[in-house]
Every structure is written in C-alpha cells, then in structure tokens.
Amino acid sequence: GDLLPADGVLIQGNDLKIDESALTGESDHVRKSLDKDPLLLSGTHVMEGSGRMVVTAVGVNSQSGIIFTLLGATGDDEDDGKDRKG
C-alpha cells in the first residue's frame, strides 16, 4: 500500500481501507468514507481502494510528526557522536 505523506481530510473515496497500525497498534484495516471517519493520517498505508484528500498538516505538524517529536526522534541530534569516547 501507498504511504500517506501528510494528514488530510478525505474528499473523494472508493472503498478506501487504511492500515493505521503504525499509529494505533491496531492490526485491522480501517474503512474510510466521507460521512464516517474521513480523517487520513500520515504514516499510515492505503491497503484497498482509492481516494483524494485535502492536506491539513505536514512534517512536524502532522500526527506522526507530533508523535516523533514527543518521542525525541526528530532527527536533530545534539550529540552527533563525534565527541564520544570508547
């Protein structure tokens, strides 16, 4: 499945099922539709169907970006290992 690179709201979809296990830990695929659960989150994978979305957040402002920031996994390491001994 395609990886969603940004958060967004579904505006058009055709039998869309998303794997949100990377964010929720839930292994079941989630059915997305315009009238029920239209939010699509970055870091999740499209498993079935197709759709279009309006992007609402990218990078550190997306749900996965917020999680990575809270975990301290931003990629901006103050200690780059150069001063490390042993």
Owning domain of residue 56: 3-73
CA–CA separation, 19 and 10 (whole Å): 15
Any domain includes 31: yes
Q: What is the pTM of this model?
A: 0.77
pLDDT of residue 39: 95
Any domain includes 15: yes
Any domain includes 80: no
Any domain includes 58: yes
Cross-strand partners of 47? none
pLDDT of residue 67: 87
pLDDT of residue 24: 87
pLDDT of residue 78: 56
What backbone torsions phi and psi does residue 6 show, to the nearest 5 degrees? -150, 160
Any domain includes 79: no
Report DSSP letters for 20-86, one per residue. -HHHH---SPEEE-SSS--EE-TT-EEEEEEEEEEEEE-GGGSHHHHHHHHHT-SS--S--STT---
Any domain includes 40: yes
CATH number, domain containing residue 67: 2.70.150.10
Any domain includes 81: no
Report the domain count for the chain: 1
pLDDT of residue 23: 87
Which parts of the chain have pLDDT scores under 70? Answer: 73-86
